[in-house]
């Protein structure tokens, strides 16, 4: 707890330095609109369908209360963007809304930096336009004040996708420093560490995340993924089951749970989970993960291509992960990489 308190104190000091060094905003929002925006942020960070719905209501309320306030538009755009990885709506469905809200925020305030990372994420994950993504992320990261959300998007949608593992970890670490109580940011940092095979650091970050919320599905999923990579099947099974019980409709939770069960020899139970999920998993990544963990590379490749066709963001987010190595070294990868306009990753992958 003392260590966590120190991190919180450091984060507050960092935030104050940023505020003191930044130029004052030219626009002062109405207080009720600002309060609505803060409520929206609070709900959104829970990363559940219900929380996203409540967050959207708050951001729309903020816009209604102060139509000239740019920030709620950017926040609403981020809320739309997060619907895809959280198995609520597809990226193809929400991309037009993300773009529209980001553009509206820029119209109201050209200095609204968060709008650029939204456009960068869509350019990368939906358009596979890496040049456009680079331009938008450059503007976002060169802003006077860079948000934790911008660092997250830059880390997972661009740096990680292109194989720059160290840089992605560094950006996510800074996101955690800016918002140390955010369980999701810590979990994503742990994931980046784990899939870069930095397991000790990953386990430490997951321990901190679970201290804040031991029932949250995401850190339990990543804990299961890490223990599976380490060959600790009993611990992996316990964490995977917790993740599955917390969010059973998300394919990543039943995918990892089924994979661990299969490794433990409980193949009938694993197959039953996969059958129950059906042939339209949401997101598709859970099905890919299951086949990868079961060394079924041809099946994993087929589902991965479906991910690309449906513009699922996990197609690029996990492109350089260690768990994908069997697919990246298979005969299927050149075609899959071309579909995403990905450059050759072998020369950029870093440990």
Query: d(Cα 349, Cα 132) in Å, to the nearest integer?
Result: 22
First to last CA, the chain: 30
CATH top-level class of 26-112: mainly alpha
pTM: 0.86
- pLDDT digits (tens), the chain, 351 positions: 445 445 544 544 444 444 433 344 577 899 999 999 999 998 887 777 888 899 999 999 999 999 999 999 999 999 999 888 776 788 899 999 999 999 999 999 988 878 999 999 999 999 999 999 999 999 999 988 899 999 999 999 999 999 999 999 999 999 999 999 889 899 999 999 998 889 999 999 999 999 988 988 999 999 999 999 999 999 999 999 999 999 998 999 999 999 999 999 999 999 999 999 899 988 999 999 999 999 999 999 999 999 999 999 999 999 998 899 999 999 999 999 999 999 865 444 443
């Amino acid at each position: 707890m003392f260590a966590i308190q120190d991190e919180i104190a450091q984060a507050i000091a960092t935030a104050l330095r940023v505020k003191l060094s930044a130029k004052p905003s030219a626009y002062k929002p109405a207080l009720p609109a600002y309060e609505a925006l803060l409520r929206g942020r609070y709900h959104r960070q829970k990363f559940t369908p219900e929380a996203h719905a409540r967050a959207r209501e708050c951001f729309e309320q903020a816009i209604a209360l102060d139509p000239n306030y740019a920030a709620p538009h950017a926040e609403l755009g981020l809320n739309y963007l997060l619907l895809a990885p959280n198995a609520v709506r597809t990226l193809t469905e929400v991309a037009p809304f993300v773009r529209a809200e980001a553009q509206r925020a820029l119209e109201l305030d050209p200095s609204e930096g968060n709008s650029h990372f939204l456009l960068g994420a869509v350019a990368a994950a939906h358009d596979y336009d890496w040049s456009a993504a680079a331009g938008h992320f450059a503007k976002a990261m060169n802003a006077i004040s860079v948000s934790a959300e911008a660092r997250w998007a830059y880390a997972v949608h661009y740096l990680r996708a292109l194989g720059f593992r160290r840089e992605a970890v560094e950006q996510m670490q800074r996101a955690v420093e800016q918002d140390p109580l955010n369980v999701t940011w810590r979990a994503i940092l742990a994931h980046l560490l784990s899939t870069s095979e930095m397991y000790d650091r990953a386990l430490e970050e997951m321990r901190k995340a679970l201290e804040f919320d031991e029932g949250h599905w995401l850190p339990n999923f990543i804990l299961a993924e890490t223990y599976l990579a380490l060959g600790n099947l009993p611990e992996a099974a316990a964490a995977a089951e917790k993740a599955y019980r917390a969010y059973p409709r998300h394919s990543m939770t039943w995918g990892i749970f089924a994979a661990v069960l299969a490794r433990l020899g409980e193949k009938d139970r694993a197959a039953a989970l996969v059958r129950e999920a059906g042939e339209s998993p949401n997101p598709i990544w859970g099905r890919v993960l299951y086949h990868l963990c079961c060394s079924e590379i041809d099946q994993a490749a087929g589902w991965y291509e479906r991910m690309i066709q449906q513009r699922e963001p996990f197609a690029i987010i996990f492109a350089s992960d260690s768990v994908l190595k069997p697919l990246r070294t298979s005969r299927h990868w050149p075609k899959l990489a071309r579909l995403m306009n990905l450059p050759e990753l072998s020369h950029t992958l870093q440990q």
